[in-house]
Structure 1
C-alpha cells in the first residue's frame, strides 16, 4: 500500500506508483490518500493519471495538526486490516508518513520510507516535519535515502546499513517527466508574465510555519526591494491560501505593478514557472531539489535546511529571512554573471531521474525476489542532471515555446 496526502508527497510518490504498476506480475500497488490538501492533491493525481484505491478525505476547515493526526490514524487503522498489504510505503515528512507508519506498526506490517534520512537536528526547524521524519525512521523497516548524506544521518541514529538504499530523489523523476511535456500554464495571465520579451522572472514560494509572522514580512519586503531595484524584473508568487500567508503577501506585494500574485498553481504550471525563472527564492524543501536540475539558482529563505547537499554543491544559498541579506544575495546574482554561472552550472546532487526504479529494485530485494541488493545512486557524472534538463529545454525551444529565462546582463 502506498500512502500519501499532500501535493509535494504526491509528486514524489507518483513515479514510484508508475514504476510499481510497470511490474504487475510482481507488485499490485494499492494507493491510499489522506487528502489533507484536497484541491492541490487532486491536481497531481490528474497530472500523473493516478486514481486512488482509497481516499480518506480527512480535510476539514481550519484543521489543526492534531486533527490531521487523529483522522489519519483512525482512517488507516480501519483500512489496513481490510486491505492487509505486505508493506506500507510512505514518503517524506508530512503527517501521512509518520501516522501511516504508526498505523502499519499497530498491524505489524513492514514499512518502507521514501526520502528517508533528511535532518536539521532541530525538532522545530522545520516544524512539524523534522519530528515526523524522525519518528518515521524509528518505525520503518526499509529506508530509501535520497543521498549519501541522508544515509549517514540514518546510520548515526543506529539504522543498519543493510536496511538503507541510496536511490536519489524521486522528485527529479517527476520533474523531468513533466518538463518534457512542456505544458504552458492554463492561466493566460501567468503564461503572459512568463513569456514577456526582455524581462527576467523572480519566482517566490513562501509558506512554512516557522516563517509565519515577522520573518515572512521581512521576506516580502526584501522581494519588494529587489523589484524596485531592477526594473526588468517581474515577480511570480503563487500565494498559499492560508490567511497567515496571504494577508501580508497582498498587503506588501499586492499593489506592486510588476508583482503577479496568484492562487497556488498545479505542478505542471509550477514546473513552467521554474523553467522561465531567472532566480528562485523559496522556503520549500522540494524546490531546493528541483530548481538545480533545471539550472536555476535558489536562495533558501530558511535559517537551516535538511538538504545541505545543495548548499555544499553550490546550487543553493541559505539566506534566512533577514531583509538586507536577501536583497544582497539576490542583487549579486542579478548583476554578477560569474556568480550566477557558478550556481546555475553547479552539480545537482539530488538525483538522475531513475530513483523510482531503484526503489522498486529495493523492494524486490526486501521481499527476496532478487538475491543481491540493487546498485545505488552515485553522483559520478556531476553534470548529468543539468545536462538532462538542458535537453528538455532544447526540445521545448524546438517546439516553438522557448524558455524565457535570461541571465544577468
Structure 2
C-alpha cells in the first residue's frame, strides 16, 4: 500500500488537510499524519473536530520562538520521522514554516512533494511574512502543484512550472466548510446562543499576521472603537490569537469595551458559527477570504496585499489595509449601503465546489499507479 505523508502544524492547515486525510483513508493509500504542532492548542482543536489522529506529534511550539529557531526544530524533527519511515509521496499545504520545512525534508529524502493550495502569490516577499517566501520555496521543491484557481495556475506557469504538473482543484477549505455545515448544523447554531448574539448584529474581527504586530493592529483597534461610536447598535466579536504580541495590543485598546466581546481562540466549529452569523468580517487571515464567500459574508482584508486576488476580483473581499480612517470609512460604507453590501454578499465564490480532495486523491492514484 502506498504511504502518503501529510505534514502540517497549524489549525488552518489541519482544516484544509482533514478532507484529504479522510479521502486517502477511503482509498487504497495510507495517510501518515506528521503533526508538527507549530500552533499547539489551535491545531488540537481542529484535529478533534475532524477526527484526524496524528501518527507523529512533534510538538515543536516554544513561547516567543524565533523563525530561525522554529525552522531548525522543524527540519530536525521531521527528518527524524523520515529516517524511520519509507514514504511514496508527501503532501504539504499552504504557506507555513511547517510547509516549507516539510517540503525541504521530503526533498532531502527524494520523496516527491504535492503542494496543496499552490500558486498563491502577493509578489511581495515580505507581505505576508514569512508566508510568501514559505509558499514560493515550497513551490520550487514540489513535484506536483494543486492550484485552487486558474489565477493560481497562471502564477505557477509564469514561474516556469510545467503545465503537466499543475492540477486545478478548488480549495480543500471549502470541502471542510461544507462538511461542517452539513454534519454539525445544530452545533453551529447553538454556539451563537451561548454567546447571546443574534445573526447579523455583530462584526467578526480577527488579526494575527506578523507584519501587523504593533501599530497596525493598534490602528485597527482604534478604528473599531470609532465604528462602534457610529453604530452603537452593533457588537464586535474578536477571537484573539494567543501570541502575546497580538493580545497585549488588542486588550490594551478594546479590553472592557461594553460592545466588544474578546474571546480566546476558538475551535473551528464555533468559528464557523461566528462567520455564518456575522454581518461582515474584518480580517488579515488568508483562509477566511476563501470561506467567507461560501457563506455570503462581505470581507474587508486588513492587509496591504493578498495572495488571494481572486476574492478581490470576484468582489467578495476588499483590501483596506490597517490605516484607521480607511478601515472606518470602508466598514461604514458597507453598513450604510444596502447596494454595496448586497454586491459583495451575492458575488460568486471563486474558490471551489467542495470536491478538491477528491480531485487530488484521484490524481495521486494516477501518478502512483494505485
TM-score range, shorter chain: over 0.9
Aligned to 2:352: 351
Query: Offset at 1:201?
Result: 0.9
**TM superposition shift of 1:182:** 2.0
TM-score, normalised to structure 2's length? 0.96
Partner of 2:369: 368
User: 1:72: Cα distance to partner?
Assistant: 1.0
The residue that corresponds to 1:63 in the other structure is 65
8 A contact 2:170–2:356 mirrored in 1:
yes
Q: Does 1:146 align with 2:148?
A: yes
- The superposition leaves residues 36-69 of structure 1 with CA deviations (integer Å, 9 ceiling, x where unpaired) of 1111111101001111011111112221111211
Cα distance change on mapping 1:348 and 1:22 into 2, 3 Å: same
Separation in structure 2 between the aligned mates of residue 185 and residue 244 of structure 1, nearest angstrom: 30
- How far is the alpha carbon of 1:184 from its aligned partner? 3.9
CA distance in 1, matches of 2:250, 2:195: 21
**What do residues 144-171 of structure 1 show as CA deviations (whole Å, max 9, x unaligned)?**
0000010000111111000000000000
Whether contact under 8 Å (1:319, 1:329) holds in the other structure is yes
Q: Is the 8 Å Cα contact of residues 183 and 272 (structure 1) preserved in structure 2? A: no
In the TM superposition, residue 134 of structure 1 has moved relative to its aligned partner by 0.4
In the TM superposition, 1:7-406 aligns within 5 A as 7-23=11-27, 26-180=28-182, 181-184=184-187, 191-195=194-198, 200-369=201-370
2:188, 2:254 → 1: CA distance? 22
Deviation digits for residues 171-213 of structure 1 (CA, Å, limit 9, x no counterpart):
00111111221254799787334337xx611000001011111
- After superposition, the CA RMSD in angstroms is 1.5
- For structure 2, list consecutive stretches of 5 or more residues without a partner in the other structure: none
The runs of at least 4 aligned residues of structure 1 exceeding 4 Å deviation read 185-190
Instruction: Work out whether residues 114 and 145 of structure 2, in 8 Å CA contact, stay in contact via their aligned partners in 1.
Output: yes
Q: For 1:28, what is the secondary structure of its paired residue?
A: strand
Of 175-184 and 55-64, more deviation after overlay is shown by: 175-184
Of residues 178-187 and 79-88 in structure 1, the stretch that sits farther from structure 2 once superposed is 178-187
In 2, the alpha carbon distance for the partners of 1:77 and 1:251 equals 41
- Please give the alpha-carbon distance, in whole angstroms, between the structure 1 residues aligned to 2:263 and 2:47: 21
Task: Decide whether the 8 Å contact of 2:181 with 2:188 is kept in 1.
Answer: no
Structure 1 unpaired stretches of 5+: 370-409
Query: CA–CA distance in 2 between the matches of 1:132 and 1:72?
Result: 13
Q: TM-score, normalised by structure 1?
A: 0.87
